[in-house]
Structure 1
Amino acid sequence: MSNRIIHSPELRLRLTQLGYDDKLSKKEFIEKVKRIYLEETGNKLEADIKVYTSKEARVGEQSGYDGIAIYLDAKENKKDEVYVVSQGSTDIKDWDYNIKAMFVGKEYSQAKATNKFVLAAQHHFKLNNNEDSTPVIGLSHSLAHDNNTTAHLMYNTFDEIYSVNGAQTNYYQLFFANAKFANAVRSHFSLSLSENDYFTIYDIDPNKLRQFAENYYKDKAKNIHQIISKDDPLYAASTARGFFTLGNVEMVDTNPDYPGLRSLVEDIPDEVMKEFQELAIQYTTASNQGGVNAAMQEILGVNMDVVNKIDDNMPKTYMTDQAGIDEMIRQLDKKVPGLLKRVKTITSNSNLIFSRLEDAGYISNQQKQLIVKEFTKIETELEGIQETLSRWVDVRDTGNFFGFHSNTKNKATF
């Protein structure tokens, strides 16, 4: 909007980038804001500037959310604004969140933290948070767009959102995060109010659910503004089930010599994406309850504590923890075949997927062959686990512990 203090796309983009610089002191950060304004407009920024970080507010310590609030008070013009720059993916915690939140839709703690930080910043700057209060503008890139937009859709956190190359909003995530939206989905698609919603929501036709979500949030979408490069990987990923794009979108072709990745992702069959998603759901649910080891046990049936004991001394472990090994064997026998079937669905399409990348000029034939080979190795490792499982059954039935130890020295490992 032209009547804003930070009124141009260039100013907003540079403030967004500045929000990632955690090494600056507050004084240095404020000087940078002034310099950016002068460089972009040719005028001095006639406003008092204050900054406040999510770390100061003790927000995001558990979720991994990071953000900075910039308060501009142009007293002479009787105008003030708050800009909240939420950071995108910067570390492993963020990428773990990406899987759980945007691909699965079962995590939304960073979106909640975004709203909590905005409220904390308003309190810190001694501002009201009613309809006539100082406008709050969200600036974002990557994961931060999902956080800012989801917070806005759930809590009316922002007056305006401006993003560049953002991770798009996810209707599965909103189903679990926003009770009003969930009730509307249940009513429209005739879902029951049972725990089975957790599974049945993923069985709804993705295109129908996307269209419903876009219509449901169309009014709030008017305050969302995006600049998206056709070559950005997140734009390509946004064609997958779960994602939907809201707001006023300006598309930019930053590399006209390449067709962009989106058309390539669109060629991936939905059933393949669903297989990925179901694996991610298992990982998310289990790891939230007990970390990576719990996820391994849920997906593979492997109790890592028992595996570590077996690696140290198989005969002793079986003698002292027979019940643990027997239970793990039962779980492996139950889970590995289904997992292998799911992985084969993915690997059987890998050549198609990466051939399209090769045809578009993104990877060479040699790179394609290497990638397909690595995907195939995953399948081979699982088949090795099945073979190891068979040997474990023989050990349990025959008691030939020493034969197992010597014969499986170079077999698949966990």
Structure 2
Amino acid sequence: MSNGEILNSDILRARIAELEYGKNGAITAETVRRIYIEETGKEPPGEITIYRSDDLEAIKKIKKDGKDSGFDGSIIHFYNPEKGINQSYTITRGTEGSEDNGSGDALDPMYDLLGIYNGKIRDQYDHAVLFDQEVTKQINEKVAKDIEKRIKSGENIQKVDLEKSGIGHSLGGNLIQMLQIMTQSYRNVYAINDAPPSVYQLALIDPVFAAKIGHKFKIDPADHRQLYELNARDLQAFGEQYYKERGQNIQHLTAEEDLMYAATVVRGFLHLGADRTANMIDTYPETKGVREILKNLSDDDLRSLQLFIADYAPAYVEGGVDGFIGELTGYDQNFKNSIDGVKKEWDKFLSKGPEWTSFNMKMPVGAPRMAFVNVPIPVPKLPDGLVNSLKDLATGVENIKNKLTTLLTQLPALIGLAEKVTAGLRKDIVASLKEVQSHAKSILVDIGDSGLVVLKNLFTVKAINASDIQRLITNAIKVKNEMNAIFDKLKGIFDSIVNFIKDFDKAVEAHGVLHVASSLAAENGRRYEGNDMILFKGEGAERIEINLSSAVRVYQTGLDKYQEKSEILNQLRVMYQQEYLDDFENRKRRLMGSIHEMESNPRSYSYLLPGKDREVTSINVHEDIRPLSPIIANTFEEMFHHFQQEHKKGIELIGKIKTSIENLFSEEKAISAIFDLR
């Protein structure tokens, strides 16, 4: 067993990490045991206990209080004191699109963006620490009680200290590395297609490190803008040196095409532990991967991208592309509704005519010395419905004005990024961004001060010139038309990006932990789907694939069913023996006993004769007991023979599943053990 670890191979660790993504907590002792048998051909060397974060009372309370961070994880404990085994594996789950099997909020992407990349939240890390510490305490208490019980019963046994290891994929890879460098509680950590820790994340979580940054670079580390302004390479080098010793037991398993690995060219990521390139796998040899596209971007480009993501990613998580564009431009359904609302209220106001009110205006009177007096000026009074509608529309116009002003400052950098990333191959993306830029400038001209004028007058005397209201409505309609064009262009850009970077599709697939496991196992003729192992041989049209896990389930379930049938058949035989053969002999025995008793004691039956003075002196019974009808015996024996033959054929058929696969994949020495171990 390599390094004494039970989960001692990349494939084993990857397959078991994949179980974290199963519905309703797919990590069970049974699934861990089955995967271990499939990969090693042997029984796991210890008792398996699973601890899930959702079952921990402290985590339940956090969720009940409405403070769910999105953290999920499991701890697998292997225990066999006779063999000196007391090992646990903390498995932190990676990014999921949303919680609760798709019905909850998208908490993981938020943590990816705001926790890891920008260092603004730390809740998932805190909950991972809580989970690991609480379960470690439970395991130590359980083991201590077991050892004490064994010693009292006379066993010569010694306590074995708990040895902890960590496994994490994607976001989970980040969390497990953070746990190691902050707590030093694992002998080894295995990060699969991981999101590395970032200096920005650590500056938030580790106050000592933050103070070191402040002293080294003469900044306030609590000011994230100052952090972002630092030279990222210098900051990264400082962080890697600072955490070098703490991270020395971190191992990496990375696909070259992995999307997360491609993203690590973004500034501020720390590469700790073993050399990542020493354990990389090329899962798509025909492509260079997304990293080749991104690595030529400058630090300024990446900083702009980092800030842009931080500003708008939450809106994308919340509402997809429409939500992203709405946050980017200020244009959404509420704005469209407010135009209709103002038009409706304005038309109603014009048709009914205004009510009048007045306000005092100071007017000069007298000469040569000038004096001022208040003169009432009549003005039309606006109804509340119109006032509220005007306020909504004017506020929406000003919001769009502010958002587009910000966007125009960002577009030059985004256009530059697009030109570098697409390398001139998709000029339509760059052209569309420039058209967005042109539309934004046109909208700002259309808006002018129309929104401000209306808002100013609304908050003074609630009296506005009709021309100001009409100008606001006219400008808002122009904005709507221009914004529809921007919306279409931005959506078109998203579509173009999807069509352009086909490698990103492969990068997303390559990020999956099962894809990594399948790539590792491919040279041995194996791949994985869900929790199942697929054996294959041959290429092209001659390729043969067998779902070994499914075949083993069918084989073992079939054997179980035929074992049940065999037990039922045996029960039928016993019942036949008891209800027919034994019962016939028992009846016959009782009858012969009665006959013998009558012949031996004839006088005791004198009461059967009429009269008082008569006596039976002798009884002689001539019995003729026929044997049980052979029809009964033949019927049952034929039935039993039929059932036996059916049972035999069924067992042979089930056995062919095993022997056929063994013959087809004769080079797989462990197949027999996989079928037979339960």
TM-score by length of 2: 0.52
Q: 2:162 aligns with which of 134, 138, 141?
A: 134
- Structure 1 residue 87 and structure 2 residue 93: aligned? yes
8 Å Cα contact 2:331-2:400 kept in structure 1: no
8 Å Cα contact 1:137-1:160 kept in structure 2: yes
User: For residues 228 and 406 of structure 1, do their structure 2 counterparts lie closer, same or farther at Cα, with a shift above 3 Å needed?
Assistant: closer
Matches within 5 A, 1:248-397: 248=274, 249=276, 250-283=279-312, 302=330, 307=335, 310-315=338-343, 316=345, 319-320=387-388, 329=397, 332-355=400-423, 368=426, 372=430, 379=437, 382-383=440-441, 386=444, 389-390=447-448, 392-393=450-451, 396=454
- Structure 1 residue 211 and structure 2 residue 237: aligned? yes
Q: What SS class does the counterpart of residue 346 from structure 1 fall into?
A: helix
8 Å Cα contact 1:282-1:299 kept in structure 2: no
User: For residues 44 and 262 of structure 1, do their structure 2 counterparts lie closer, same or farther at Cα, with a shift above 3 Å needed?
Assistant: same
Q: What do the CA deviations read for 1:182-236 (whole angstroms, capped 9, x no partner)?
A: 011111111137x5x2210000000000000000000111121101122212111
Deviates further, 104-113 or 65-74:
104-113
Q: What SS class does the counterpart of residue 186 from structure 2 fall into?
A: coil
Q: What SS class does the counterpart of residue 226 from structure 2 fall into?
A: helix
User: For residues 258 and 301 of structure 1, do their structure 2 counterparts lie closer, same or farther at Cα, with a shift above 3 Å needed?
Assistant: closer
User: For residues 258 and 407 of structure 1, do their structure 2 counterparts lie closer, same or farther at Cα, with a shift above 3 Å needed?
Assistant: closer
- Structure 1 residue 171 and structure 2 residue 171: aligned? no
One-letter amino acid of the counterpart of residue 73, structure 2: G
| Residues in 2 aligned to 1:231 and 1:297: alpha-carbon distance in whole angstroms | 29
8 Å Cα contact 1:306-1:325 kept in structure 2: no
Q: 2:137 aligns with which of 123, 129, 136?
A: 123
8 Å Cα contact 1:100-1:280 kept in structure 2: no
One-letter amino acid of the counterpart of residue 17, structure 1: E
One-letter amino acid of the counterpart of residue 420, structure 2: L
Q: 1:149 aligns with which of 177, 185, 189?
A: 177
Matched with 1:18 is: 19
Matched with 1:106 is: 120
Matched with 1:236 is: 262
1:382 CA drift (Å): 4.3
User: For residues 311 and 115 of structure 1, do their structure 2 counterparts lie closer, same or farther at Cα, with a shift above 3 Å needed?
Assistant: farther
User: For residues 347 and 301 of structure 1, do their structure 2 counterparts lie closer, same or farther at Cα, with a shift above 3 Å needed?
Assistant: closer
| Residues in 1 aligned to 2:123 and 2:436: alpha-carbon distance in whole angstroms | 32
| Residues in 2 aligned to 1:70 and 1:388: alpha-carbon distance in whole angstroms | 63
- Structure 1 residue 76 and structure 2 residue 82: aligned? yes
Matched with 2:7 is: 6
- Structure 1 residue 227 and structure 2 residue 253: aligned? yes
Matched with 2:102 is: none
1:370 CA drift (Å): 6.1
| Residues in 2 aligned to 1:296 and 1:44: alpha-carbon distance in whole angstroms | 51
One-letter amino acid of the counterpart of residue 8, structure 1: S
8 Å Cα contact 2:47-2:79 kept in structure 1: yes
Matched with 2:468 is: 398
Q: What SS class does the counterpart of residue 19 from structure 1 fall into?
A: helix
1:380 CA drift (Å): 6.0
- Structure 1 residue 246 and structure 2 residue 272: aligned? yes
| Residues in 2 aligned to 1:326 and 1:409: alpha-carbon distance in whole angstroms | 13
- Structure 1 residue 45 and structure 2 residue 71: aligned? no
| Residues in 1 aligned to 2:242 and 2:294: alpha-carbon distance in whole angstroms | 26
1:268 CA drift (Å): 1.7
User: For residues 2 and 154 of structure 1, do their structure 2 counterparts lie closer, same or farther at Cα, with a shift above 3 Å needed?
Assistant: closer
1:337 CA drift (Å): 2.0
| Residues in 2 aligned to 1:311 and 1:25: alpha-carbon distance in whole angstroms | 51
Deviates further, 371-380 or 230-239:
371-380
User: For residues 304 and 36 of structure 1, do their structure 2 counterparts lie closer, same or farther at Cα, with a shift above 3 Å needed?
Assistant: same
| Residues in 2 aligned to 1:25 and 1:230: alpha-carbon distance in whole angstroms | 28
| Residues in 1 aligned to 2:115 and 2:449: alpha-carbon distance in whole angstroms | 39
Q: What SS class does the counterpart of residue 411 from structure 1 fall into?
A: helix
User: For residues 240 and 39 of structure 1, do their structure 2 counterparts lie closer, same or farther at Cα, with a shift above 3 Å needed?
Assistant: same
| Residues in 2 aligned to 1:275 and 1:97: alpha-carbon distance in whole angstroms | 19
8 Å Cα contact 1:296-1:302 kept in structure 2: no
User: For residues 308 and 150 of structure 1, do their structure 2 counterparts lie closer, same or farther at Cα, with a shift above 3 Å needed?
Assistant: farther
8 Å Cα contact 2:15-2:35 kept in structure 1: yes
| Residues in 1 aligned to 2:331 and 2:392: alpha-carbon distance in whole angstroms | 8
Q: What do the CA deviations read for 1:256-283 (whole angstroms, capped 9, x no partner)?
A: 3333332321112222222222223334
8 Å Cα contact 1:52-1:70 kept in structure 2: yes
| Residues in 1 aligned to 2:389 and 2:338: alpha-carbon distance in whole angstroms | 10
- Structure 1 unmatched ranges of 5 or more: 357-364
CA RMSD of aligned residues (A): 3.5
- Structure 2 unmatched ranges of 5 or more: 99-105, 144-159, 346-384, 455-466, 488-678
1:383 CA drift (Å): 4.6
8 Å Cα contact 2:52-2:75 kept in structure 1: yes
Q: What SS class does the counterpart of residue 136 from structure 1 fall into?
A: strand
Deviates further, 215-224 or 56-65:
56-65
1:91 CA drift (Å): 1.1
8 Å Cα contact 1:118-1:157 kept in structure 2: no
8 Å Cα contact 1:82-1:136 kept in structure 2: yes
| Residues in 1 aligned to 2:207 and 2:42: alpha-carbon distance in whole angstroms | 47
One-letter amino acid of the counterpart of residue 126, structure 2: K
Deviates further, 387-396 or 235-244:
387-396
Q: What SS class does the counterpart of residue 90 from structure 2 fall into?
A: strand
| Residues in 2 aligned to 1:164 and 1:85: alpha-carbon distance in whole angstroms | 11
8 Å Cα contact 1:87-1:144 kept in structure 2: yes
1:155 CA drift (Å): 3.3
1:77 CA drift (Å): 1.0
1:145 CA drift (Å): 0.8
8 Å Cα contact 2:92-2:167 kept in structure 1: yes
TM-score by length of 1: 0.82
1:8 CA drift (Å): 2.2
1:23 CA drift (Å): 4.2
8 Å Cα contact 1:71-1:83 kept in structure 2: yes
Between structure 1 and structure 2, the one with the greater Rg is 2
Q: What SS class does the counterpart of residue 77 from structure 2 fall into?
A: strand
Matches within 5 A, 1:177-188: 177-188=205-216
8 Å Cα contact 1:127-1:133 kept in structure 2: no
One-letter amino acid of the counterpart of residue 200, structure 2: Y
